[in-house]
Structure 1
Amino acid sequence: MGKSFREHLEQDEVLVCDGAMGTMLYSKGIYINRCFDELNLSNPAMVKDVHLDYLKSGADIIETNTFGANWFKLEPHGLEERLYEINFQGVKIAREAAGGKAFVAGSIGPLGRPIEPIGHLSQEKARQAFYDQAKAQFEGGVDLFILETFKDINEIHQALLAVKDVCDLPVIAQMAFTDEGKTAYGVSPEEVVRKLEGWGADVVGINCSTGPEGVWKAIQEMARVSDIPLSAQPNAGFPQLVQGRLLYLASPEYFAEYAKRFIQSGVRIVGGCCGTTPAHIRAIRTAVKALRPSRQLVEVKVVEVEEKVLQVKKPAEKSKLGEKLGKKFVVSIEMNPPRGPDFSKVVEGARRIKVAGVDAVNIPDGPRASARMSPLALATILESKVGIETILHYTCRDRNILG
């Protein structure tokens, strides 16, 4: 891409992020008891296909399939020793799919264990776990990092510090909120913005949560106090069990409507989370285009055209009727177009008046506001069959916007 991620932010542009990775993998037959992150190693083609589907739908940013690729979540699957490989390969797959036409964001999610002071896991160990994951993704070649679906402000703080320990790439820091408009530990949207902005996040936002409406309400509170760009990636509502499968029922059209509200509230990164698909992202892209139409450079060439002098003909040179004007008394008779397609009587009458010395036939347009043959058609018939000149009426009725 021509401009860096931070340049896009500085120019106040709206970028579209992708949607759910897990939902798409599940739809392809991967069971929820599998480690989705491990597919980077065992089935990279499937992961790449998901990325490509989102890119075709208009995503400017795609996230790596590494949301749960930390030591604590890989350990139950016996994959903790392959942490670096899974994260590095996840970036490689995304970069191949993007082909330089989209930003690749390294996805980092919560550790799955509460940290101090709520849990027993120390902040130092949490920071080290995030560091290991971020280092592998950085060396894989991400353009930025996205910390998402965090419920504990202290945990996302450690994740943000870990990323800063690794590099100076941009960071999108997103938290999840309950239907009460606060995090699971009672932190308000305003406080989240102030803290994450103070800790050095480039973008602060909300993902997952309770669907588009809940995210929009919390975003409005963030917008009142934020001095940096905001992001919104809601899920498709709460999943419903339909014929043995968990499905999200929020439609792409519903998402598109809220995408407009997000942008109007100051959001600059819009995407989806759990339950969203390429169809949702395509709808979001359409909404973004409607609010922020792309600029196209138009090349204007000045072509010199030789001026043509119009020869104005005198009435006498245009017709026999025009030749008579001003020289003799001209006589015209008005003849109405027939009510149907039979024009024989009108033609016969025109022949008689021509023999009697009448100079022209005056044909009105729609006399008495009744449906009749076109006066233009009748004029053509009389001039060709009788040889008498016609004066054609032409009104503007029903030929303008009022009609």
Structure 2
Amino acid sequence: MKQNITLLDGAIGTTLWDKAAAHGWKKDPVWTYNTEHPEIVAQIAAEYADAGSQILFANTFGANGPAVKKSSKRSVSEIVSEGVRIAKDAVRDRGIRIALDAGPLSELMEPYGDLEEDEVAEIYREMFEAGVGAGAELIVLETFIDLGMLRVAAEEAKKYGVPVLCSLSFERLGKTMMGNSPEDMIEELEPLGVDAVGMNCSLGPDLAVPVIRKFAGKTDIPLFFKPNAGIPVLAADGSVSTAYSAKAFADEVAPALEFVDYIGGCCGTAPSYIRELAARMGRN
């Protein structure tokens, strides 16, 4: 096993929605919980910390200008700042770093869509200023399918003097929906001086490990890996469960512990999954 792997957290969105369902709340954009139900967001952060996470992602994924304007009367600054503050307060004095979490925009950037690069940069700038201003110690750019948009976001993020971790969402053949490969990602982002490259979401661990392995040996940039818990399984009674239990998930991702630098889980994973990973790493 590689030494000094950083253990990340698991899913925030699906974990939040599970807790919201238990309270009978509607399935709102996850970032709305920062101002509407901050106690639940704080509880999840604390649970991941207890499971062994060394970096927690603030509940800011998707909280960009266009999305916030469409779904909330709050400002991006307020929502993002609260997301960072909640995470920091939940794990204060525990030596755990907090990352601002940003994902792709719902509209596509040129040449695939109408958004211009300077518009994209401005949207991310608003998020980064709020998040870093509130005390975020890293910026994570994850779940992107367009390497061009990720490059613009990364260029902007590097202006803030904190580590920038970058992740694309790959399909099972090792390319994004826009046709970007791991080699493309390395070539495009290495000159920017980003602090990690890799993949998250889209694939369960069985299909994700071969994709992240494509990065190994091709770059000196640290590798970021956050697969999901597999395609949800619908039971006869209508209930939904993840394809991989916490133990099965840890079994499948174990080979990646030989070469990745950051590891955690995406959609469908929970604190129990991170606890299993921590155990595999000899940390429990």
Corresponding position: 1:196 with 2:203? no
Q: Aligned-pair distance for 1:248?
A: 1.8
Q: Aligned-pair distance for 1:278?
A: 0.7
The residue aligned with 2:33 is: 39
Q: Deviations over 1:255-282 (max 9, x none)?
A: 2123321111x10111000000111100
The residue aligned with 2:276 is: 283
Which of 81, 98, 104 in structure 2 is aligned with 1:88? 81
Q: Deviations over 1:49-102 (max 9, x none)?
A: 0101111111111100000100122222134x5110000010000001121321
Q: Which blocks of at least 5 consecutive residues in structure 2 are unaligned?
A: none
TM-score of the aligned structures, taking structure 2 as reference length: 0.93
The one-letter code sitting in structure 2 at the alignment partner of 1:18 is D
The residue aligned with 2:4 is: 13
The one-letter code sitting in structure 2 at the alignment partner of 1:69 is A
8 Å contact kept, 1:16–1:269: yes
Q: Aligned-pair distance for 1:215?
A: 1.7
**Using the alignment, how far apart are the partners of 2:34 and 2:197 within structure 1?**
28
**Using the alignment, how far apart are the partners of 1:152 and 1:246 within structure 2?**
30
SS in 1 for 2:197: strand
Identity of aligned residues (%): 33
8 Å contact kept, 2:165–2:196: yes
Q: How many residues align?
A: 278
The residue aligned with 2:225 is: 232
**Using the alignment, how far apart are the partners of 2:70 and 2:204 within structure 1?**
30
The one-letter code sitting in structure 2 at the alignment partner of 1:65 is N
The residue aligned with 2:43 is: 49
Corresponding position: 1:131 with 2:86? no
The residue aligned with 1:172 is: 165
8 Å contact kept, 2:55–2:98: yes
Q: Aligned-pair distance for 1:246?
A: 4.1
Which structure has the larger Rg? Answer: 1
Higher RCO, 1 vs 2 (CA within 8 Å, ≥6 residues apart): 2
8 Å contact kept, 1:149–1:176: yes
The one-letter code sitting in structure 2 at the alignment partner of 1:66 is T
Q: Deviations over 1:105-137 (max 9, x none)?
A: 110011111111110011111110011001100
The residue aligned with 2:242 is: 248
Q: Aligned-pair distance for 1:142?
A: 0.7
**Using the alignment, how far apart are the partners of 1:188 and 1:178 within structure 2?**
10
8 Å contact kept, 1:157–1:196: yes
Q: Aligned-pair distance for 1:190?
A: 1.8
The one-letter code sitting in structure 2 at the alignment partner of 1:189 is P
**Using the alignment, how far apart are the partners of 1:142 and 1:191 within structure 2?**
29
**Using the alignment, how far apart are the partners of 2:11 and 2:157 within structure 1?**
23
Q: Deviations over 1:229-253 (max 9, x none)?
A: 1011000011233444543221111
Q: Mapping of 1:371-382 within 5 angstroms?
A: none
8 Å contact kept, 2:20–2:27: no
Corresponding position: 1:140 with 2:134? yes
The list of structure 1 runs, each at least 4 consecutive aligned residues, that deviate by more than 6 angstroms after superposition, is: none
Distance change >3 Å, CA 76–CA 88, structure 1 → 2:
same
SS in 2 for 1:50: helix
TM-score of the aligned structures, taking structure 1 as reference length: 0.66
8 Å contact kept, 2:117–2:152: yes
8 Å contact kept, 2:222–2:260: yes
8 Å contact kept, 2:172–2:211: no
8 Å contact kept, 2:9–2:53: yes
SS in 1 for 2:215: helix
Q: Deviations over 1:324-349 (max 9, x none)?
A: xxxxxxxxxxxxxxxxxxxxxxxxxx
Q: Mapping of 1:320-359 within 5 angstroms?
A: none
8 Å contact kept, 2:209–2:253: no
Distance change >3 Å, CA 244–CA 71, structure 1 → 2:
farther
Aligned Cα root-mean-square deviation (Å): 1.8
**Using the alignment, how far apart are the partners of 2:124 and 2:170 within structure 1?**
22
8 Å contact kept, 1:98–1:104: no
The one-letter code sitting in structure 2 at the alignment partner of 1:13 is N
